[in-house]
Amino acid sequence: MRPDLRQTVRGMRDLLPDETWRLRFIEGCARRLAELYGYEEVITPIIEYYELLAAKIGEENRKRMYVFEDLGGRKVALRPEFTASIARLVSTRMVSAPKPIRLFSFGSLYRYDEPQLGRYREFWQANYELIGSDKPEADAEILSLTSDFLEAVGLRNYVIKINHVGVLRGILGHEGISEDGQNSIMQLLDKKDWDGALKLAEDYGASQRCVETLKRLFNLRSEDKNAVFKGVSEAVEGYPSALEALDNFSGIIDLVERIGLKIRFQFEASFARGLEYYTGVIFEVYVPELNIAVGGGGRYDRLIGLFGGIDMPAIGVAFGVDRIMLAMEEQGVNPPKPERKRVLVVAVDENNVADALKIAVALRRHGVQAEIDVMRRGLSRALSDADRRRIAYAIIVGPKELGEGKVILRDMRNKVQEEIRIEDLPGKLSVF
């Protein structure tokens, strides 16, 4: 079937100037926060080897990758996230960099998701990775950065859904379920298919005690950490590594609380994420207006070792910029767009075009935002168009004034005009 060339490819969008401005506003907030927390920006390729991106990304995400063969016969893919590329980079060219390594990335990603509100096939993330520490303060830093990011873009009323995969993996591992088996169970949990997860655990040979433990965990969700931690600790008795994970989890939350951050947590013992590389705390950010996550992250202590041979603990978070934009809209957050005063230079007739161009060039060199009339619609139409486009000043370049080294400067809002010497223009206009 011939494609309709007036349409973007399904799942892809054009961003008009206002939307692009909002995306760049969020990027600016993200970049400022990176600086404040000491994260340095890196740029990695949009195309990577398929095997790199596919490792530990989880079955669902793997199926949704844009995979193709390049002209050299290499199996490559468009990146669906930054984390794999960062892990590759750190395990190769940054392997001996002093720890911790704090890296920031911003850019577009590609997933063949089913398009709907907030779910696109090309989307943007602001991504932060903190590499080299397995201490709870590293986890606390990422959570504090998450809360600061949401505040910085102006979002209110968000909840961080949080869990620790070490608890579930600790139970399943104790039961002798292989990592692959655990991953399949986690995929079902990510889709909230609790019955399916229980059934699969049984198929993999989980004991009756394990099934009962999982059932208890699946019912534990609350904003009250004490209720959830107590419930989990009772449920996982006899599973030492699950208890260890719980201990780590409560230490992190304790630290976050002591920073004094007003983060609303939703503790959910059955919460899992589709990405398979997580080994510790995992979380997703929600706003009440949208039922999809605006950000997500977690600890992954074994991914970097997969590529470089040396394990390096790490934790990170990525914000979905497109969804942050939607959330801002829903919550009525309208960052003021700083508007520079604009100047339009109009030639009265075609003999003055070169002079008009010259004046515009000189003004821009003085930092004045000067546009030139390129339509030759005649003076009165050019002025009414300038009004419509909220131009502050028009400079009218005509033969009579030019003869005296002058032009007409028209204040568009007050509709007053004066003759002014050309060399005085920058001084007059560069003050705003």
What minimum distance in Å lies between the beta carbon of 284 and ligand HAM? Answer: 6
Q: Which two tokens stand for residue 78?
A: 């468009």
297 lies in the site for ligand HAM, by CB under 6 A = yes
Q: How far is the CB of 217 from ligand HAM (least distance, A)?
A: 22
Under the binding rule (CB under 6 A), the answer on residue 184 touching ligand HAM is no
Residues 354-413 that bind ligand HAM (CB under 6 A): none
CA proximity to 215, closest of 168, 169, 181: 168
Q: How far is the CB of 160 from ligand HAM (least distance, A)?
A: 11
Closest Cα to residue 347, out of 417, 413, 402? Answer: 402
Phi, psi of 387 (to 5 degrees): -60, -50
Q: Which of residues 252-291 bind ligand HAM (CB under 6 A)?
A: 275
Q: Which residue is nearest to ligand HAM (CB)?
A: 320
With respect to ligand HAM, which residue has the nearer C-beta, 294 or 402?
294
Question: Of these, 85, 91, 105, 125, which contacts ligand HAM (CB under 6 A)?
Answer: 125
127 binds ligand HAM (CB under 6 A): yes
Please identify, using beta-carbon distances, which residue of 128 and 229 lies nearer to ligand HAM: 128
Are 342 and 44 a contacting pair, CB within 8 Å?
no
Which of 124, 229 has the CB closer to ligand HAM? 124
Binding of residue 111 to ligand HAM (CB under 6 A): yes
How far apart, in whole angstroms, are the C-alpha atoms of residue 38 and residue 130?
A: 10
Tokens of 26: 């969020």
Q: Give the range of 44-52, 66-74, 232-240, 314-322 binding ligand HAM by CB under 6 A.
A: 314-322
Q: Does 130 bind ligand HAM (CB under 6 A)?
A: no
Q: Which of 298, 304, 326, 348 contacts ligand HAM by CB under 6 A?
A: 298
Interaction between residue 166 and ligand HAM (CB under 6 A): no
Nearer to ligand HAM, 117 or 375 (CB): 117
Q: Among residues 323, 327, 370, 398, which is the contact residue for ligand HAM, using CB under 6 A?
A: 323
Nearer to ligand HAM, 125 or 183 (CB): 125
Instruction: Please tell me the distance from the alpha carbon of residue 406 to that of residue 398, in angstroms, as a whole number.
Output: 9
Question: Is residue 65 part of the contact set for ligand HAM (CB under 6 A)?
Answer: no
Of 80-88, 353-361, 399-407, 416-424: span binding ligand HAM (CB under 6 A): 80-88
Count residues contacting ligand HAM (CB under 6 A)?
Answer: 26
Q: What would the x/- binding string for ligand HAM be over residues 40 to 59, using CB under 6 A?
A: --------------------
Choice from 136, 181, 280, 320 touching ligand HAM (CB under 6 A): 320
Complex with ligand HAM: residue 304 or 383, whichever CB lies closer: 304
Name the minimum Å distance from CB 268 to ligand HAM: 15
- List contacts with ligand HAM (CB under 6 A): 81-83, 111, 113, 118-120, 123, 125, 127, 129, 275, 293-298, 300, 316-318, 320, 322-323
